[in-house]
Amino acid sequence: MSPRRRRVLVLSRAYPNSATELLGLWVQRLVARAADRYETKVIAPVPWCPPLPGLPEYYARFRRVPRRRWDGPVGVFHPRFVVGAGSTLRRLEWRTYHRAVIDPRHFSTYHELEAYLRSLGPGEIEAYREAARDFMASDAYRPFTKQAFAEILVTAVAEDLGISK
């Protein structure tokens, strides 16, 4: 019986997926080389895309990225994570939910962003806080919890080991 191969876990935001096929090709090549010698897995999170009506394809395409797949001998996992909304999402959210999102990309410098944040009145600040509390209390927030992330990892490890949970 041959000795068990060492295992390598790669965590990378830059790894190709069905929505961004050219992202992180250099990481993919390194992982492929490591897979020649080691049992290799990749965790490459992709942005979570809310099911909002009228969402442009640029964002909606992330919903179709499979959560698990094989890249040759390498197991690849694509958990979702929340990212700051861009101008399109901000407009959609404002139109759909009547709530604003502060997007740091709309400010030339951090000083501009800081000045904007300092200019907010108590009512505006409370509206942002309430929107955040509402989201974190909703079922839509569950995929971004530590518990959900741990469940994904436990399931993946159990499947790899052939253990039923």
Residue 94's pLDDT band (boundaries 50, 70, 90)?
Answer: very low
> Where do the domains of the chain lie?
1-83
Q: Is 90 exceeded by the pLDDT of residue 17?
A: yes
R_g of the chain, CA atoms, integer Å: 20
Q: Is 60 exceeded by the pLDDT of residue 84?
A: no
In contact, 53 and 59? CB cutoff 8 Å: no
Contacts of residue 35, defined as CB under 8 A and 6 or more positions apart, other chains included, come to 72, 73, 74
The mean per-residue pLDDT over the stretch 51-79 comes to 88
In contact, 47 and 80? CB cutoff 8 Å: yes
